[in-house]
Amino acid sequence: MKTYRYLSIPIVLLVLLISCSGEKKKLFGSGDSSRWTDQDIPLSELDTVRVNTDSIIIADKMKELFPPSDSLVEGRPVSFYLNRRDVSLAAKNFYLLRFIPSDNNETGSLCDSLLTKNDTTRPFYYFLYLRLNKIADGATAEMLPDAALEYSMKFVDEFYKKLELPLYRGEYMTWVYNVSYMLWNSLAKGQDTADAASVRQYIISQQTKNAKYLTASLRNKISQFADSVATHPNDGR
C-alpha cells in the first residue's frame, strides 16, 4: 500500500500538467478570436502559421530601426511623455515597441494625434508619426498622408521650424511625398490627376493664410515646399 501511495503523486502531477497544457491551447486557439490581436501575445509565443506574419516582420523592423538609446524628443526626455496621462496608451506602447501598427482604428488614432491642439504633447506625436512613416506599408501607409496634409497646412510656423532641427532635417521629402499623395488626388476634380499649378497654389494660399508670423523667410520656405510638392506628382517613395 505504501508503494501505491507514493506512485500516485507523480500521476497526479502529470494529470495537472496535461490539464494546464489544454487550457493554454484553448486560450490561444480558435475560441473567441475577437478578444485577441497579434499585439496581445508576446512575440515568443506567436504561432506564425495562424497569425498575420506581417506583424512579426514589422516588429523585427521596429527593433532594428528604433533602438532604446533614443531618449530625447526636442530636448525633453521621453519619460516626460511616457509618464503623462494625456498621452495615449497606443503612443506609449508604440515607442516602447509593444504596439505593432496595422490597418486598424488604433493606428489611425495614433496618426490623428499629430493634430492635437495640445502644444505640450504634440512634439511626441510628431516624433512617433515620423517613426510610423519608416515602417508603414500598404494599407497602413495610406493612413499617413491625410494627417500630413492637415498638419502642414494648420501648424505652418511649427512645420517649418521643426524641419530646421537636426533631428528632422532629413525628413523633408517624407512630408513632400505625403502631401503630394493627398493633393494630386484631392485636387483632380474629376480628372485623372491635378495639375502642378493648382497644387502649388493650394499650398501657398493655405499656408500663407494660416501662418501666425508670415515673415519674408517663411514666405520663401512656403514657396520652396510648394515647388517641391508640385514637382513630385504622387510618384510614391
pLDDT tens digits for 16-47? 444 544 443 333 333 433 333 434 444 444 44
Is 61 domain-assigned? yes
- Crossing angle of helices 172-186 and 122-135, in 10° steps, is 80
Is 46 domain-assigned? no
Q: Which residues pair with 73 in a beta bridge?
A: 76
AA letter at 34:
S
- Supply 165's cell numbers: 532641427
Give how many domains the chain has, as a whole number.
1
CA atoms within 13 A on the CB side of 180: 20
Is 112 domain-assigned? yes
* Residue for grid cell 499656408: 207
Q: Residue 9: what pLDDT?
A: 46
pLDDT in tens, 115-167: 999 999 999 999 999 999 999 998 999 999 999 999 999 999 999 999 999 99
Query: Comparing C-alpha atoms, which of 218, 123, 220, 235 is closest to residue 179?
Result: 235
* Average confidence (pLDDT) over 230-236: 76
The 8 Å CB, 24+ separation contacts for 192-198 are: 193/233, 193/234, 194/233, 196/230, 196/231, 196/233, 197/230
List the domain range (segments joined by +) for residue 155: 53-230
- Specify the range with the lowest mean pLDDT, choosing from 15-29, 48-62, 176-190: 15-29
Is 14 domain-assigned? no
Q: Residue 185: what pLDDT?
A: 81
Is 136 domain-assigned? yes
- Specify the range with the lowest mean pLDDT, choosing from 179-188, 207-216, 224-233: 179-188
- Specify the range with the lowest mean pLDDT, choosing from 12-16, 24-28, 196-200: 24-28
pTM: predicted TM-score of the whole model, two decimal places: 0.76
Q: How far apart are CA 8 and CA 135, in angstroms?
A: 55
Q: Please report which confidence band the pLDDT of residue 2 belongs to, taking 50, 70 and 90 as the band edges.
A: very low
Is 79 domain-assigned? yes
Q: Residue 29: what pLDDT?
A: 38
AA letter at 111:
C
Is 179 domain-assigned? yes
Inter-residue contact 71 to 78 (CB < 8 Å) = yes
pLDDT at 84 over 90: yes
Instruction: Locate all alpha helices (DSSP H) within 36-143, ordered by sequence.
Output: 53-65, 78-82, 89-95, 105-112, 122-135, 138-141
Is 149 domain-assigned? yes
Q: How far apart are CA 40 and CA 26, in angstroms?
A: 15
Q: Mean pLDDT in the chain?
A: 81
